Amino acid sequence: MIDKKLILANAPSNIGDQVHINHTGCEAGEDKKRRLYIKRTERGLVAYCHHCNESGSAKDGNSGRMSSWLGKKTTVATAVAAKPILAALPTAGKMWLMTNYCSSSTEYFNGVAAEGMKVALTLHNPESEVIGWQIRNLERGATPKYLTHYIKNSVRGDASWFHKDNKTLVITEDYLSAYRVYKDTGLSSVALLRTTMSDKTLLQVYDLEFKDIFIWLDPDDAGVKGTTDVYRKLTHFLPTTTNIAMLGINKEPKECEPADLCHILL
C-alpha cells in the first residue's frame, strides 16, 4: 500500500485534478518517470503506481469521508513473458470464434506458433495499447484452460479494454464477451478476466467518466456473487450521477446472437 504521507504531501487541490510524481520508496525500484498518480475525488485522495502496481488512498481536511474501498490483491494465474510467437489461426480456433459469433481479426485473435490448438487473445489498455495476451487452450480437458501473459510487471493482472469514445460501459467476465459487446453494439467494454474488479480497473473506470455502466458477468454462482461485489464497489466509489445496473441474464454476452445483444444493450 502506498504511504499516506506521500499521498497527502503531493495531493492536488481541486476535485478531479490529478498529478503524477516519482514514487519515493517504490518496491519495483527507483522511479524516475513519475509513475505515481494521485487524484482528488469527491470521496478523498486515491493513488496508483504504474511501476510497482500498488494502490492507496487518504483523506485530509479538503476531502469528504472516504471509506476503505481498496481491497486485498486478487491472485490470478498470470505470468510476465515475452510476446508469444503469433501465427495464423488454426482451424479449431476459427471454429471456436465462429461458434461465439466472433470474427477472426488478427488485431485481436491469432494462433500460437507450433501450438495448433491454442488461440492468443490480444489484451489492450484503455488507450488501445497492447499489454499482453491470454492464451486459450482448445484441447478437451486442458488445464489450465487460460494462461495470461503480460509484457511487464506494471500491467500484470490488468483487465482488457475495448474502449470507444462514448459514455456507456459494459463490464464482462471474459474476453470474447467484451469483444462481442464492442463489435456488435459499438459500446465500450472491459473484460475483467475474473469475477472481481481490481483497484486499478476501478480507477480507470472513474477516470473515463462513464454515464451508464452495465455489469454482465457469467450466470453461474461465482458470476452472480461477482456482479454484486462489483456493483457495490462501483456505487461506493463513483459519482451518484452514474447509472449502474446489474444484468441478470442467463447467458453470457458471447452466447447471444448479435441482434439479441443489441436488443438487450441498446
The pTM of this model reads 0.74
According to the CATH classification, is domain 86-265 in 3.40.1360.10? yes
Q: Are 229 and 216 in contact (CB under 8 A)?
A: no
The one-digit pLDDT tens for each residue of the chain (266 residues) are 888 889 988 888 877 788 889 999 898 888 888 888 888 887 788 888 888 888 888 887 554 433 344 444 333 455 555 678 999 999 999 999 999 999 888 999 999 998 889 999 999 999 999 999 999 999 988 888 999 999 988 898 999 999 988 999 999 999 999 999 999 999 999 999 999 999 899 989 999 999 999 999 999 999 999 999 999 999 988 989 999 999 999 999 999 999 999 999 99
* Cα–Cα distance measured from residue 200 to residue 159, given in angstroms and rounded to the nearest whole number: 9
The ranges assigned to domains in the chain are 4-58, 86-265
Q: For residues 53 and 155, what is the distance between their CA atoms, to the nearest angstrom?
A: 7
CA distance 161 to 182: 10
User: Which set of grid coordinates corresponds to residue 16?
Assistant: 478531479
